[in-house]
Amino acid sequence: MTELNIIGAPAEAGAQGPKRSARHPGPLLSQGNTADARCDWTREEIAALFDMPFNDLMFEAQSIHRANHPRNEVQLSTLLSIKTGACPEDCGYCSQSTEADSGLKATKLMDVQAVLQAAAQAKDNGSGRFCMGAAWRNPKARDMPKLVAMVQGVRAMGMETCMTLGMLDEGQARQLADAGLDYYNHNIDTSPENYANVITTRTFEDRIETLENVRNAGINVCCGGIVGMGETRQDRIGFLHALATMPHPESVPINALVPVEGTVLGDMLKDTPLAKIDEVEFVRTVAVARIVMPQSMVRLSAGRESMSEACQALCFMAGANSIFTGDKLLTAANAGDDKDALLLGKLGLTPMMAQPHGHLEAAE
Ligand code: SF4
């Protein structure tokens, strides 16, 4: 196994613990570490993490989790689709693309009041963050006043705000930042090499450009991807490597593909062994994400409704500390508030309080 240096473990950690050997590697970070997160991970190091014995990997991930986050707290987010369907992009996993034959009914951008009503309900259900998603390649200038009003209204309720609207130029990012947007979601989805197999209407570099505009405007970044799209472990390594070598996103959603009939990937994977990600591999992906991005919130997103409670519990053990609640994730089914409350109760996990003033310093 490659020797690993996880976020600069204190030198004495190895001296106090059992000595590591190839056969019985000792703890990599048994004392935890809140040092600055590394952005110089190599693919070899990340591959070695994936290869660790499962129990060792879980131990490391949970140690790092406890050193960087409140233990047993899970941040609850609610996601609302504020404009559904008819998206000109061709993301192979998405039922909202015009390329998909999913029978989804397209809707216009919602009214501000209706969005605020949904946010108030989410708050009553315990959500600390309200995420608003629109199926666009990018927002138009005429949409911006409504979007700004939505951000201002949700923020006034004391919730964290998040939006996902497609590509943003610098000016749009600044407008949303000025309105008080806390987070912007823009996923890289998969490894740079696999990107063109999933989406052809934009490039990996387009994604990076929007992420830079968002970060430069002072908005926290929410960026992750999807596993179970038929990709290889090398792609999962490349995906986490891309995330861990940029300024770490504050939130990292890890989705398990929900294969929807009529979508390119849903039809391609149907009735194949690849139609469902192996749960152990999924948990490994979450654990590696926690280790390489120790201070980020790692979010279990789409696909959670089809996971067993045991698998979700392992994901929390691996360092996931955020979930989407509610019955729907944009257009896909989600676990639902009651089920979530039961599961969190069973596991002794409690909701994390919202911190709606956590803006980054905007770049000049
Ligand atoms: S994932 Fe987003 S950008 Fe891609 S097709 Fe769906 S709505 Fe459009």
SS3 category, 357: coil
Evaluate whether 74 touches 127 at the Cβ level (below 8 Å). Answer: no
Residue 285 in contact with ligand 1 by CB distance below 6 A: no
Pocket test for ligand 1, best of 79, 81, 95, 96 (most atoms within 8 A of CB): 96
How far, in Å, CA of 151 to CA of 164, rounded?
A: 12
Pocket test for ligand 1, best of 94, 223, 258 (most atoms within 8 A of CB): 94
The pLDDT score that the predictor gives to residue 30 is 34
Cα-only R_g, the chain: 20
Question: Under 8 Å CB-to-CB from 261, ≥6 apart: which residues?
Answer: 102, 267, 270
Ligand 1 atom at minimum distance from 97 CA = 5
Residues labelled as active-site residues: 87, 91, 94, 131, 162, 222, 299
How far, in Å, CA of 164 to CA of 161, rounded?
A: 11
Residues of the chain with pLDDT under 70: 1-36, 275, 326-337, 353-364
The pLDDT score that the predictor gives to residue 116 is 95
Evaluate whether 175 touches 148 at the Cβ level (below 8 Å). Answer: yes
Read off the tokens for 242.
């891309």
* Residue 223 marked as a ligand binder: no
pTM listed for this prediction: 0.82
* Residue 39 marked as a ligand binder: no
How far, in Å, CA of 50 to CA of 42, rounded?
A: 13
DSSP 8-state class, residue 70: -
**So what's the architecture of 73-351 in CATH?**
Alpha-Beta Barrel (3.20)
* Residue 222 marked as a ligand binder: yes
Residue 89 in contact with ligand 1 by CB distance below 6 A: yes
All structural domains of the chain with their residue ranges: 11-68, 73-351
Residue 154 in contact with ligand 1 by CB distance below 6 A: no
Give the residue carrying structure tokens 């430069």.
216
Atom 4 (ligand 1) nearest CA: 91
The alpha carbon of 84 and the centre of ligand 1 are apart by a number of angstroms equal to 10
The string of pLDDT tens digits covering residues 36-71 is 689 999 999 999 999 999 999 999 999 999 999 999
Read off the tokens for 169.
């130029």
